[in-house]
Amino acid sequence: MEFHTAEEAAAYHLLQQVLVNHMQNHDLHVMTASTVVIYLLGDLAWQLSAAESSIQTFAQECGTGLKQRLRARHAAPALPGVAPVTLCDEDVLGPDAPVRGLIHSLGQFLADASAEHDLDLEGSLRIVLSLLADLLAVFLHQLDYALEEVDALIEQEVVPLLQYYVTRKRSCRPHGHQ
């Protein structure tokens, strides 16, 4: 089961709509949106990893959870309303304002939903992993990547980025001082 409660599922659907709307309204590339969601995932991973002895193990577990969610989306796209995309040589991070807006919107909606529905950090992590799986499913359905290629992307890009983000954040400031 992807979500443990109906409230988690409702929060996920709300954030999914925010993500799609922002991508459409600001013409954000799937790579840009993925980077934003990985940033949000990294922040949650940092908060959750305070109790973890190994950042590497924690990041690997996130990668495993992401792969499981991706497989659930293999048969049908899970992110409706995303315009067809292609890989390009352009700066996929796009303009700063829409990217910052998406980071702020997703973070605020997640915080609000967490407070309103008393979601714990693990519930928030499940939601964000599911959003990232939605975006990675675009690689399967629109960019014709094989499942193994997206798995490799998770192992070679997402997991190391999470490890880097959490390690860097731990070294920059004490836990609890966001």
* Alpha helices, H only, 26-158: 30-48, 55-72, 96-117, 121-141, 147-153
Residue 152 contacts residue 32 (beta carbons within 8 Å): no
* Nearest-5° Cα angle at 6, 3 to 11: 80
Task: Check residue 167 and give its pLDDT.
Answer: 81
Distance from C-alpha of 123 to C-alpha of 120, rounded to nearest angstrom: 5
Question: What pTM did the predictor assign?
Answer: 0.84
Tens place of pLDDT for every residue, the chain, 178 residues? 588 899 999 999 999 999 999 888 888 888 888 888 988 988 887 787 665 567 788 888 889 999 999 998 877 765 666 655 555 544 444 557 788 888 888 999 999 988 998 899 889 999 999 999 999 998 888 888 999 999 999 999 999 988 888 888 777 755 554 4
Q: Which residue has the tokens 């993500």?
A: 19
Task: Check residue 92 and give its pLDDT.
Answer: 46
Task: Check residue 10 and give its pLDDT.
Answer: 92
Residue 144 contacts residue 32 (beta carbons within 8 Å): no
- Polymer length in residues for the chain: 178
> Would residue 40 be called left, alpha or beta, if left means φ above 0 and alpha means ψ between -120 and 50 degrees?
alpha
Residues 6+ apart with CB under 8 A from 105: 18, 22
